[in-house]
Amino acid sequence: MRKIITTANDSKDSLYVLIKSLSKSEKRQFKLYVGRLDGNADSKYLQLFNLLDKMNSYNESEIFKNNIVKKQQLSNLKAHLYKQILISLRLSPAHQNIRVQIREQLDFATVLYQKGLYQQSLKLLEKAKHMAIENEEKNVAYEIVELEKVIETQYITRSMSTRAEELAHEAKVLSQQNLMTSKLSNLSIQLYGLMLKTGYVRSDEEKREITAFFTQSMPKYKMSTLGFREKLWLYKAYLWYSFLIQDFLSCFKYAMRYVELFEENPAMIARNPVFYLKGNHYLLESLFYLKHHTKFKEVLESLEMRLQTTDFPTSDNLEILEFLYVYSHKLNLKFMVGDFSTSDGLIEKIEKYLKQNGQRMDEHHIMVFYYKIASLYFGNGQNKKCIEYLGKIIHNKSLKMREDLMCFSRILNLVAHYEAGMDYHLETLLKSTYKFLIKMDDLHEVQKEMIKFLRNLGDIFPSELKNEFKKLRKRLEVYEEDPYERRAFLYLDILSWLDSRIESRPVAEIIKEKAMVLNR
């Protein structure tokens, strides 16, 4: 695993970040690529490459000190170097996926066409088209057909009349399939954007709005006419709609269809590994919400075994996604079975990876990791560590997504301060939390009850405390199955915490017992 150390300023320089992301073999390949071109051994852009590679942080004054280039020429030299690195990476066998290979064939065919070698160009295009259709790359397949039509008008044969009909039909079918894929992918990404921004629906009105949008945006289709790619986007659209309205059984249903689509077409796993990983992630997420820990464990173990096989592709992007999904769900499994131990090295592994590769991940996912780690510490009774991790979320001023995550971070922060005996902070925190929740328009009944209880703690005698916990539990348990209030229990198992206070037992013990009763 490569260690990349960057500062805030470094991350703004695309060339520096690209160079630091290269593996040893990719750097060696780049130097060999440059060496093949005559007169490049001492080229300025290779000198710049070597200098940036050695730097621990991006420093322009260091570049000028080495007399590689004048200030006014630096941007052009950097742009040229950036382009050459990308060309080198494109030539690397590690990056020669099927999509690149098809594009390469299309490029070669275009060159042959421009030289007037029509028959040779058409042969290449026919081969590339079959590859594209076989691998569900229908956008590029459509491009190929369009170029075939252009060439056929110039390379006239006796079969031109039937060939014209064939090409027109192929173009029409591919166009319709691409249009369907586009509509379904647009719907899916719009629903995903809503999920990131607002989380689950919070009222009947919101549910009606989302349902109306989903119904109106869903294109008419016949399942029998849909190919692999169209089915993939269809299942994803239904998945995000189901997540938004908190229909987790429907989430499980479509996540299973999503993963089974790949299992029925195993060649597509290696060709679309990102989609395969995401499908398993959605399946695990739905099982987590359904509290089906035995099936959850089975799916997680199966995914880990698949990732360890030699035929599963490898890349920087896949490495990040594999870490993100596997370790996020390892934490989820601990919550499901009530295992809040922090001595198994899991937190340390996550922290180490985030420190080395955090700048390559989006901030939202990092904050989710922090919330889960905070929850683990809370369940283990390490409240000050819990507060420390929640602080990373609460004090993050640039985080604009997942309002629900921000809200429950503050609620858990209040409870952790109470548990840690840090009462002197409680009044200030209550005020700031109230202010935040009202501003976010996210003050629900569960949150109101929690804040009201914590606010009145100072007036409750110690002898009456257990009875007050019982009263609060009774008021909250009615919301556990409420479709718009139950999300509070997805982020923080408040009822188990109350049971632990009432029964004077660790919260981990309570959750473990509940998991055994469910026994699913």
Q: What is the DSSP string of 174-220?
A: HHHHHHHHHHHHHHHHHHHHHHHHH-S--SHHHHHHHHHHHHHHSPP
Question: 184: how many CB neighbours lie within 10 A of its CB?
Answer: 25
DSSP 8-state secondary structure symbol assigned to residue 361:
S
Predicted confidence pLDDT, tens digits, the chain (520 residues): 444 444 444 456 889 988 988 888 888 888 888 877 655 555 888 889 989 998 888 888 888 888 888 888 888 899 999 999 998 888 876 566 788 889 989 999 999 988 888 889 999 999 999 999 988 899 999 999 999 988 887 766 555 567 888 889 999 999 999 999 999 999 999 998 888 777 788 788 989 999 999 999 999 999 998 999 999 999 999 999 999 998 999 999 999 999 999 999 998 998 889 999 999 999 999 999 888 988 999 999 999 999 999 889 888 889 999 999 999 999 999 988 888 899 999 999 999 999 888 877 888 889 999 999 999 999 888 999 999 999 999 888 766 556 667 878 888 888 888 888 876 777 778 778 777 776 766 567 887 787 777 777 667 776 777 888 898 899 888 888 787 777 677 667 888 888 888 988 888 888 878 777 765 5
Q: CB under 8 Å to 447, separation ≥6 — which residues?
A: 407, 411, 437, 488
Q: Which residue, among 58, 95, 11, has the nearest Cα to 361 in the 3D structure?
A: 11
Half-sphere exposure of 73 (CA within 13 A, CB side): 11
C-alpha span between 467 and 458 (Å, rounded):
15
Q: CB under 8 Å to 243, separation ≥6 — which residues?
A: 195, 200, 251, 285
**pTM of the predicted model as reported, rounded to 2 decimal places:** 0.77
C-alpha span between 135 and 102 (Å, rounded):
10
- Residue 3: what pLDDT? 44
- Residue 147: what pLDDT? 92
- Residue 7: what pLDDT? 42
- Residue 42: what pLDDT? 57
Domain boundaries, the chain: 14-95, 168-242
C-alpha span between 247 and 501 (Å, rounded):
31
C-alpha span between 472 and 447 (Å, rounded):
12
Backbone torsions φ then ψ of 410, nearest 5 degrees: -70, -40
Long-range contacts of 381-389 (CB under 8 A, 24+ apart): 381/419, 381/506, 381/507, 382/342, 383/416, 383/417, 383/419, 383/420, 384/420, 385/342, 386/412, 386/416, 387/413, 387/416, 387/417, 387/420, 387/422
- Residue 441: what pLDDT? 61
* Token pair recorded at residue 342: 């922090």
Q: Which residue, among 88, 106, 112, has the nearest Cα to 33 in the 3D structure?
A: 88
Q: CB under 8 Å to 158, separation ≥6 — which residues?
A: none
List, in sequence order, the alpha helices (H) in 267-345: 267-271, 273-290, 293-307, 316-337
- Residue 156: what pLDDT? 62
CA torsion through residues 181, 184, 189, 190, sign: positive
- Residue 2: what pLDDT? 44
- Residue 371: what pLDDT? 93
CA Rg, the chain, in Å? 28
CB 180 within 8 A of CB 219: yes
- Residue 347: what pLDDT? 96
- Residue 403: what pLDDT? 65
CA torsion through residues 413, 418, 423, 428, sign: positive
